[in-house]
Amino acid sequence: MPVESRPVPREPHDTQPTRILRQTARRAQPAPAPPPPPPAPEPSEPPIRVLLADDLNLWREENGPAGLLNVSSATRLGLLEDLTSDGARLLMLCGESAEAAVTREAALARAALDVEITVVALPNGPLGQYAVARISEQALAVAGRPSSLVVSVLPTLAAELVNVAVLHSVTGLDLPGVGVGHHLASILPGQRQFAVQVTPRPIVRSLSKDLVSEGFTRAAFGSAETRVLIAGPHSMPAPLQALTGVSDVPHRVRTELDLPGFWGDDEATEIVAVPRDPAAWIAQRVPLQPYSPCDWCGAALVAAAPRCVFCGYQVPSR
């Protein structure tokens, strides 16, 4: 049976002028734009760890004392070396009365371990310092605020917290506002309670008096709501409720702080009114500013900074 043959389709005749026109059209098409380069990563600062010189839980050695100034030099240097093993900077908070001793120990650690430690003295009690430490951690995470600027304004921010202690005796205190009459009342027979405010304004009063009319400060943090922290064996006395500006139950802080050692009273109870949203409060209090790296250690410095808070480099006058 004969096989039917079918014509094989042929490509259209490609003349030389047609080929030239096709090549010209291909060359006329714009070349695709190259993809944009990836954005350069922003320079990141080393991590910063916020420490309390009065933290009895951190600065502790077996069968020995606790606290930065009480542990042995070997224990102190070993802990600092562990805390900076990843290149972190240390922010050490302490009370104003301990500033000289803490600064001396920090200088020894810098020389022995080649670490960066910044000491910031605060006017608060141990719980107030604890509150500033937690606020600092959130403040350092606020985008656009260089850590050096946040560190430099911490004493100012700490002085705005309402920090009050309730004590049975003030004989062990050497604070502004504690007078001879208070010392005398502390040793007389009978149960007494004193309210000692250290920030924003030092003042000492008996709890039997009207505290608000006696010059105590009511907590106010602008648009940020208020939260109350308390540490110690006692609850907040009713006369102090008006100082906080909030009706919420105070948040009891369960941390090892040397309240008796600082306040000179074994039953010292400390109360601090803080902003409920520290990051928002910091954003209000610490405005965005242009900054440049420190010529010595690379930390971000704002234009008005006279020196670097981390390495101490003195910025040349502009």
Cβ burial, residue 293 (10 Å; 0-12/13-18/19+): middle
Half-sphere exposure of 266 (CA within 13 A, CB side): 0
pLDDT above 60 (res 169): yes
Least confident of 29-38, 138-147, 213-222, 302-311: 29-38
Alpha helices in the chain (DSSP H): 16-28, 73-83, 99-113, 126-139, 147-152, 154-158, 180-187, 241-244, 259-263, 278-285
Q: Is the peptide bond before 200 cis (omega within 30 degrees of 0)?
A: yes
Indicate the angle between helix axes 126-139 and 278-285, nearest 10 degrees. 80
Instruction: Tell me phi and psi for residue 11, to 5 degrees.
Output: -65, 145
Rounded to the nearest angstrom, the gap between the alpha carbon of residue 210 and the centroid of all alpha carbons in its chain is 34
pLDDT band at 241 (very low <50, low <70, confident <90, very high): confident
Give pLDDT, residue 191: 63
Are the CB atoms for 294 and 242 separated by under 8 Å? no
3-state secondary structure of 136: helix
For 299, phi then psi, to 5°, come to -65, 150
pLDDT score at 28: 55
How far apart (Å, rounded) are the C-alpha atoms in residues 128 and 123? Answer: 8
Q: What is the pLDDT of residues 124-161, one digit of tens each?
A: 999 999 999 999 888 887 756 778 778 888 898 999 99
Question: What six digits make up the tokens of 178?
Answer: 């504690």
- Candidates 131, 119, 195, 178; CA nearest to 159 is 131
CA dist., res. 149 & res. 301, Å (int): 7
Euclidean distance between CA atoms 211 and 77, whole angstroms: 45
| DSSP helix, strand, coil percent of the chain (3-state; round to 5) | 30, 20, 50
Q: Is the pTM of this model over 0.85?
A: no
Task: Say if CB 141 and CB 279 are below 8 A apart.
Answer: yes
- 152: tokens are 């430099």
Phi, psi of 123 (to 5 degrees): -85, 5
**What residue has token string 């608060």?**
124
Assess whether pLDDT exceeds 70 at residue 31. Answer: no
Tokens read off for 91: 């922010």
Q: Are 227 and 274 in contact (CB under 8 A)?
A: yes
Residue 2 in this model has a pLDDT that exceeds 60 = no
- What was the pLDDT predicted at 42? 47
